[in-house]
Amino acid sequence: MRPERLTDDDGERGSAVVDFVLVGVLVVALLLAVLQVAVYVHLRNVIVASAQQGARYAANADVPAEAGAARTLEIVGQATTRGTAAGLACESVQEVDDSGLTLVVVRCVGAVPSLFAPLGDLLPLSATGRSVAETP
């Protein structure tokens, strides 16, 4: 007489692997989303600070106002990568505000690169820096 085999197989064999894969995909997607937000906030802060510094540079008495955009792109290139700086379009102009002060304004527009390459540059970014122009 053969002893009967005791099995606990109730049709769920291998379901842990499927559960792991499904949950793992969601966790990785969530991690990438959090990292993308962190990259966006970091780049935005760097570009805003660079635009402010470019405006302060162009506000000097012996520097033309147009030099602020080039200075901003140079600072962004040093702080991040040259590719990030190349993806920005910056302009620097002089404006007069409501109180009569002459300001140097640096505006930059571009997009933040995506961590998931097939998506491309999804997140638009704009930054403005202002400084009071010195009079010679």
Tell me: the pLDDT tens digits for 64-123?
A: 989 999 999 999 999 988 888 888 999 999 999 899 899 999 999 998 877 776 666 678
Domain boundaries, the chain: 16-132
pLDDT beyond 80 at 26: yes
Q: What is the reported pLDDT for 33?
A: 86
* Per-residue model confidence as pLDDT tens digits over 28-69: 989 988 998 898 899 999 999 999 999 999 999 889 989 999
Asked if 57 contacts 63 with a C-beta cutoff of 8 angstroms, the reply is yes
pTM: 0.78
